[in-house]
Amino acid sequence: MPAYGPRLPKTMKAVVTYGPQDYRLEELPVPQAGPGEVVIKVDHAGVCASDVKCYFGASHFWGDESRVGYCQPPITAGHEFAGEVVQLGEGSAEKYGLAIGDMVVSEQIIPCGECRYCTTGKYWLCLRHEIYGFRQFAPGAMAEYMKLPVGARNYKLPDGMPMNKAAVVEPLACSIHAVQRATIQLGDVVVVAGAGTLGLGMVATAKLCGPSMVISVDPRDYRLEVAKKMGADLTMNPDKEDVVKQVRDLTDGYGCDVYIDATGYAESVLPGLLMLRKAGTFVEYGVFREPATVDWTIIGDMKELDVRGAHLAPYTFPLAIDYIHRGIIDVSNIVTHELPLERYEEALQMVHEAKVSIKVLLKP
């Protein structure tokens, strides 16, 4: 059975990655849905910090092809999005419970479904995965239309959810996963480093876990003001105060129980290790431009810390959708700018400079 849906135009505008600082607005063919596939009309596409790092040439994206985040140009950029279903391939309506006109989001990873990680439920660590906006199999969302391929993890959105909020489902789902990895206990003192989109989502999610205090750390005062709205009990600017000393003083010299790093900067790692109490938990959710170097004696002999990585958003999209839809987490505080697709370079620069923006959305 052929794909069904309204007649689509033959071509569309799309932002295509060719190399560092070589992104081009081009006219491409509109994708068509094959068996098990879905085509959506993109309503909003978010600009992620990883998009910016890729744009400015971070080695994580442009290094050895064996690296997980390796970018395969030319490829349409973007992995944060929400859109309207406009075409359904054979079997996709039944598989995903979707109909023409439904609003939908999709996880950023398309797992293979066959490797050891996939078959044991750890699909987000898939050995042969694809990622929207970086890999050739999965052109991304900075376009008027995009295809959700076979194996995509798609979710129908509730009726009436504003699409600019729905475009924040992906980063909020990532924030939820990081907080889950932290295993916050009632009464804990939690520090979240970085008050960008992910860090603010972590502040709001951590607050739901019943800690005694959530502290947001960021060098930008305007972001700290948003962190207060998201539930931070206390905010600190590391450019203006000794945050390690401050946290220790607040905790009778012990240090915080949990430190979650959402900065993407290597220099944030050491302060986190130093401000944690002995047997505390460090969660890293960042894509760094350069390696972080620390004295591992702090982790082992000095403190016996529990250091955990966090990657993507496994099983958390339904939670993120629910929290946004019911207003449990108000992401309207996070979305600061909406620009037309043609202003993609301005959007990337805004996120890079972070002078006034938090979440910047593109609207094709």
First and final CA of the chain: distance in angstroms? 30
Closest to 14 (Cα-Cα) out of 23, 22, 6, 5: 23
Residue 139 CA to residue 127 CA, distance in Å, equals 19
Query: Tokens 């295809």 — which residue?
Result: 147
For 105-158, how does the pLDDT look when each residue is reduced to its tens digit (9 = 90+)? 999 999 999 999 999 999 999 999 999 999 889 999 999 999 999 999 999 999
Please report the pLDDT score of residue 66 as a whole number: 52
Q: What is the pTM of this model?
A: 0.95
Residue 333 CA to residue 222 CA, distance in Å, equals 12
Query: Tokens 């990873």 — which residue?
Result: 109
306 pLDDT exceeds 60? yes
Please report the pLDDT score of residue 61 as a whole number: 85
Residue 319 CA to residue 321 CA, distance in Å, equals 5
Please report the pLDDT score of residue 195 as a whole number: 98
Residue type, 343: R
Please report the pLDDT score of residue 64 as a whole number: 59
Closest to 83 (Cα-Cα) out of 122, 49, 44: 44
Residue 182 CA to residue 310 CA, distance in Å, equals 9
For 326-359, how does the pLDDT look when each residue is reduced to its tens digit (9 = 90+)? 999 999 999 999 999 999 999 999 999 999 999 9
345 compared with 286, residue with greater pLDDT: 345
Please report the pLDDT score of residue 69 as a whole number: 52
Please report the pLDDT score of residue 63 as a whole number: 67
Please, which pLDDT band fits residue 291 given cuts at 50, 70 and 90? confident
By the 8 A CB rule, do 4 and 32 touch?
no
User: In a 10 Å sphere around its CB, with 0-12 CB exposed, 13-18 middle and 19+ buried, how is residue 346 labelled?
Assistant: middle
| Beta-sheet strands, E only, within the chain | 11-19, 22-29, 38-47, 75-76, 80-88, 103-106, 109-110, 130-131, 145-148, 154-156, 189-193, 213-217, 234-236, 256-261, 276-284, 306-309, 335-340, 359-363
Interhelix angle 197-207/221-229, rounded to 10 degrees, is 30
Q: What is the DSSP string of 35-104?
A: TT-EEEEEEEEEE-HHHHHHHTT-HHHHS-TTSTT---SSEE---EEEEEEEEE-TTHHHHHT--TT-EE
Residue ranges of domains in the chain, CATH in brackets:
11-168+334-363 (3.90.180.10), 172-309 (3.40.50.720)
Please report the pLDDT score of residue 149 as a whole number: 97
For 309-326, how does the pLDDT look when each residue is reduced to its tens digit (9 = 90+)? 999 999 999 999 999 999
Residue type, 232: A
By the 8 A CB rule, do 348 and 58 touch?
no
**Sign (positive/negative) of CA torsion 337, 50, 85, 105?**
negative
3-state helix, strand, coil in the chain (%, to 5): 30, 25, 45
Residue 313 CA to residue 325 CA, distance in Å, equals 18
For 210-254, how does the pLDDT look when each residue is reduced to its tens digit (9 = 90+)? 999 999 999 999 999 999 999 999 999 999 999 999 999 999 999
User: In a 10 Å sphere around its CB, with 0-12 CB exposed, 13-18 middle and 19+ buried, how is residue 234 labelled?
Assistant: middle
For 59-105, how does the pLDDT look when each residue is reduced to its tens digit (9 = 90+)? 878 865 555 457 899 999 999 999 999 999 999 999 999 999 999 99
For 150-201, how does the pLDDT look when each residue is reduced to its tens digit (9 = 90+)? 999 999 999 999 999 999 999 999 999 999 999 999 999 999 999 999 999 9
